[in-house]
Chains A and B, each alone.
Chain A
Amino acid sequence: SNDLNKLLKEEQEYSDFEIIVNSPENIKSIFRCHRAILSSRTQYFRGLFRSRMKEYQEGKVEFDNISPEIMLQILQFIYNGKIEINQENAIELLIHSQKLLLFDLELFHYLDQFIMD
């Protein structure tokens, strides 16, 4: 799973999809990702690729109002199941993972534990 993380952070050569994030402060960040991983791990991306709409054609998707740190955590979770949760990011992570229907990845379970504590 470390290798998958490496894939996300360093090996960009085989990337075939970009996730563009506009932070609340309107700073743009780009994550170079892999369709195969995204679609096999999440319902949201499976639908996005399957329906062959604009994002599929252009090879990118844009999310507004999400900070790159949160996005990175979510992607790390998608890629290798690891996530760093703390006081600052818990609520934000919850909101965005819920939107993307990441329940299957048991992210909610972690968040639930954290918030309960």
Chain B
Amino acid sequence: MSRKMILRVPKFQEPKRMEKSEAQRLWLLLKDAIVEVQHMNASTLSFEELYRSSYSLVIAKRGDILYTGLEEVNNHHTKNLLDKIAQAVDERFLIELNSQWQQYKLQQIMIHDILMYLDRMYVKEPQLKVFDLGMFKWKQNVLIHSQINDRLVRMLLGLIHMERNGEVIDGALMKSLIQMYVDVSLKEKETYKQEFEERFLLATSHFYKSESNLFITNNSCGAYLKKVEIRLIEEEARIKQYLDESTGPKLIKACEDELIANHMQTMIEMETGCRTMIQNDRFNELKLMYRLFQRVENGLVHLKNEFAGYVRNEGHKIVNQPENLKDPNALITSLIEIRNRFEKTLSQSFANNRDFINSVNTAFESFLNENDKLSESLALFIDKKLRGGFKDSNDQEIDVIMNKVILLFRFLSDKDVFKKFYEHYLAKRLLSGRSFSEDLERTMISKFKQECGNQFTSKMEGMFTDMRLSKDALDGFKNYLQTSVEMGKLPKIDMSVRVLTQGFWPTFPPHSCTLPPLLSQYCDLFTKYYCHAHTGRRIIWQTNIGTAEVTFRLPKKTHVLALSTYQMLIMLLFNDAEKLSLKQMAAGTSISFMDIQRSVKPLYSGKYKVLKRTPAVEKSKELSENDIFELNLNLKCKLHRIKFAATSQTDSEPERQHTRQRVDEDRKIEIDAAIVRIMKSRKALIHNDLIVECTKQLSSRFVPQTSMIKKRIENLIEREYLERFPDDRRRYRYLA
């Protein structure tokens, strides 16, 4: 609105006529005043008079006299100043230049104030505003003059160089002189950028290039990193102190390029560099390296790759170390240890960066699956812990270990193998009463459940249910015995039975044996009782995993022997014979010769020998079926109760083989199910797509071999779930 009004003014007010001489008089008045201002003698001038004069000239349309006159006066004045400044020598030069500049700027403000009316009402683009005109004249006649510009820039850069070398310089003077380049720039700081900034950045790069090359050759990587950090802080301070803020990002970029980006490879590879730091857990140095590398493009990629490479290498060593291959417990313990160590590095040095964590996880996945026994080792590790290894740990420590187990488990590609072994060892723990705490067992299982869902743990939970129900059944059986008629005829023995639902429990290799008549009768009684209570169920006796306590009477002493069922059967034979060959033992018990071998071994070769081999032979010698044993009546043992291992080893190779075979059997079923599921929804599919889809579906449980999937497809075609397209043999169709 106000602008519209300005245009309308002449309608109301005819410009007064002004004689040329009057205009000239007013201009001279103003000119004299401007000269006075330029000589710092303004205090006696009348502001109102000068303002009014400029106002009068403008409304009389004589602004041009004033504007061109001003240009000339400024021109003249700045040229005079140039001579004065250029004469100053050495340090005086900067001081003189600065003091003239400071005065000049004040004068220009004053001149602007006097000529305010001219500035507002007369000056039109592309003419410069009154103040800008003053700046322009200074730039043209002083600053970029050949006698000044180059000399000034060289001196400024020289001072900055000195300051970088630790000397103290006059920051206020620097600020004022550098700001001058900004002040005289008419738009976008162009004079500052062209005349100063460009050369400053070049000098900076140059300075840091030579400094960094020299420093890194003569110092450790850690010392270099600290130096870089200090340099960057100094440069940040420099920006605040005397540079224009627009230079900040460019300056920092130049420093980062020279100090960090150009030396990244060296910092990683040098003897005291990144590798050594990771090896020796130098968390603080690594943290600094992370912070600095983060500043440059791709910096973290270098660091991450180096770290991940180290992790893979360390892990590879652990899973292939001969001692670890023999000792699952040591293997898993070492793996948990390095995992903890790397997690510490990740959190203390690498800010738990997602990318770093992911690459460490990828590394774990790759080396953990190098060792095909890892699933079993992990199951064994937990087995040991749950058999009492947790005894001395508090809840929190136990939770930490369990979570680490889950973490390693997560990296396994063959989770089904792990599951089989876990179930196998869980079954053994439960049946031998060796589980340390049911609570801990359940906690562990609930963690697997969280990780893999119900299906993964349903069998394990079934085992626990069976254990509870067995106890009820056994109580019921004992009550039954008391009221039973047949009971009166039988001698009393204490029999304990566990009823295991088929399917929940691992299938133990089938064995057979002949029980002594008394036991056999008890078994029949139990079968009768149980099948009466649960109609429709069938009981299969699994004698080979049972235990028994037998009284062993020596001439002077009596012991109780805790034995496996097989060992009991063997020992009972000695009630009727003095000497027995292995062959005879096998015949007397109907136990397979291999099981006889394994069961006898702890009895004659352990710490306490209840059997002796006659004639005595070296222990290590393999047993043959004609070897003869007799009771060791000279047994010396202070214990009343003597416990024997069921077999010579906790788990024999055949048993392991058996577990692995069962995994394969289960995989066939899983693959079949996956293929059928996929084909049912897709109806028709090309061979390769089916393989890919199937592998994807099963990947959470195991990595199926392509050859195995192929075999299963063939099998399903035979069973008429699928058929090949007659015209395209590579395509399958689902048969509903």
Contact = CB atoms under 8 A, between A and B. Distances in A.
Contacts of B116: 43-44, 47, 101
Nearest to A111: B5
A98 interface: yes
B48 interface: yes
11 contacts: A44-B116, A47-B114, A48-B113, A61-B47, A63-B48, A91-B12, A94-B9, A99-B117, A108-B6, A109-B1, A115-B12
B43 A108 contact: no
A9 interface: no
A108 B51 contact: no
Interface string B333-375: 0000000000000000000000000000000000000000000
A53 B46 contact: yes
B390 to A, nearest CB: 79
Given A44-B51, A50-B109, A99-B117, A57 B43 contact: yes
The 7 A-B pairs of least Cβ separation, nearest first, read A47-B113, A108-B2, A53-B47, A51-B110, A112-B5, A48-B47, A108-B5
Contacts of A101: 116-117, 120
A62 interface: yes
A91 B13 CA distance: 9
Nearest to B33: A53
Contacts of B43: 52-54, 57
A102 B5 CA distance: 13
Contact of A52 (B42, B46, B114): B42
B44 A54 contact: yes
Interface of A: 43-44, 46-48, 50-57, 61-63, 91, 94-95, 98-99, 101, 103, 106, 108-109, 111-112, 115
Contact of A103 (B2, B51, B109): B2
Interface of B: 1-2, 4-6, 8-9, 12-13, 42-48, 50-52, 55, 109-110, 112-114, 116-117, 120
Counting chain A CB atoms within 10 Å of each CB, the highest count among B1, B4, B47, B116 belongs to B47
A54 B112 CA distance: 17
A51 B2 contact: no
A109 B2 contact: yes
A62 B48 CA distance: 8
Contacts of B6: 98, 108
Contacts of B48: 48, 55, 61-63
A115 B112 CA distance: 32
B37 to A, nearest CB: 8
A43 B50 CA distance: 15
A44 B112 CA distance: 11
A63 to B, nearest CB: 7
A86 to B, nearest CB: 16
Given A48-B113, A101-B120, A54 B51 contact: no
A5 to B, nearest CB: 24
B64 to A, nearest CB: 20
A18 to B, nearest CB: 13
A51 B113 contact: yes
Nearest to B9: A98
Contacts of B50: 53
A101 B113 CA distance: 12
A112 to B, nearest CB: 5
B113 A95 contact: no
Contacts of A99: 52, 55, 117
A106 B116 CA distance: 18
Nearest to B1: A109
A51 B48 CA distance: 11
A88 B1 CA distance: 23
A1 B156 CA distance: 53
A50 B9 contact: no
Contacts of A106: 2
Contacts of B109: 50-51
A89 B52 CA distance: 22
B47 A108 contact: no
Contacts of B2: 103, 106, 108-109, 112
A112 B117 CA distance: 20
Contacts of A111: 5
Contacts of A47: 47, 51, 112-114, 116
Contact of A51 (B44, B55, B114): B114
Given A52-B42, A54-B45, A108 B1 contact: yes
Nearest to A49: B47
Nearest to A50: B113
B46 to A, nearest CB: 5
A108 B5 CA distance: 7
A52 B1 CA distance: 34
A51 B42 contact: yes
B596 to A, nearest CB: 112
A111 B43 CA distance: 36
B505 to A, nearest CB: 93
Contacts of B46: 53-55
Given A51-B114, A55-B48, A98-B9, 19 more contacts: A43-B120, A44-B116, A53-B43, A53-B44, A53-B45, A53-B47, A54-B44, A54-B47, A56-B47, A91-B12, A98-B6, A99-B55, A101-B120, A108-B6, A109-B2, A112-B1, A112-B5, A112-B8, A115-B12
A29 to B, nearest CB: 16
Contacts of A48: 47-48, 51, 113
B564 to A, nearest CB: 104
Contacts of A57: 43
Contacts of B5: 108-109, 111-112
